[in-house]
Amino acid sequence: MTTAVDTNAFLALLYDDEYADASEAALRHAYREGAVVVTPVVYVELAADGRFDSAADLDRFLEDFSVKVVDPSREARFTAGDRFREYVDRRPDGIQCPACGETRSVDCEACGESISPRQHIAADFLIGAHAVVDCDGLVTFDEGFYSTYFPSLAVSPN
């Protein structure tokens, strides 16, 4: 069994937030069940966080959890693009509240064009597609997002 890990599971540990205990338990369970992996994009997101002074420090952190960095397969990369396109097509105009779903239209004061920021980026879809195509599950705290675009993906903790 191979389990992928989303960036937010590691950030919970690094910042000892309210998800830290659940993250640690899910990672321990995944390790007992088999291999634990991340995509290069998770590595990049962790490096961008600023908690690590060097690549060697980040490598040691991942090694402490027996996590390997692996490339997504060609099929996973294609699936990520396909699901991202679905997301872009479904995304409403304007800004959507992540809590209630209310959408507000916001216009640029300079030119009057409608502003519609992305709330998810292609990296999220690559993480999910890698987990669903190449792995057996994903440790994440964004179950709602992943269950929408990757409904067959086993997510933990849940």
Range of the domain at 72: 2-91+120-156
- Model pLDDT, residue 56: 98
Bridge partners (DSSP) listed for residue 69? 38
Q: Is residue 108 part of a domain?
A: no
| Cα Rg of the chain (Å, integer) | 17
pTM of the model: 0.84
Q: Is residue 20 part of a domain?
A: yes
- Model pLDDT, residue 42: 98
Q: Is residue 109 part of a domain?
A: no
Q: Is residue 105 part of a domain?
A: no
| CA dist list (Å): 81 to 38, 109, 146, 149, 158 | 18, 33, 14, 11, 26
Q: Is residue 141 part of a domain?
A: yes
- Model pLDDT, residue 11: 96
- Model pLDDT, residue 88: 84
Amino acid at 93: D
Report helix angle 122-134 to 40-48, nearest 10. 140
pLDDT profile of the chain (158 residues), mean per 10 = 97 95 95 97 96 97 96 98 90 68 80 71 95 98 91 91
The total number of structural domains that make up the chain? 1
Q: For the domain that residue 79 is a member of, what is the CATH number?
A: 3.40.50.1010
- Model pLDDT, residue 102: 77
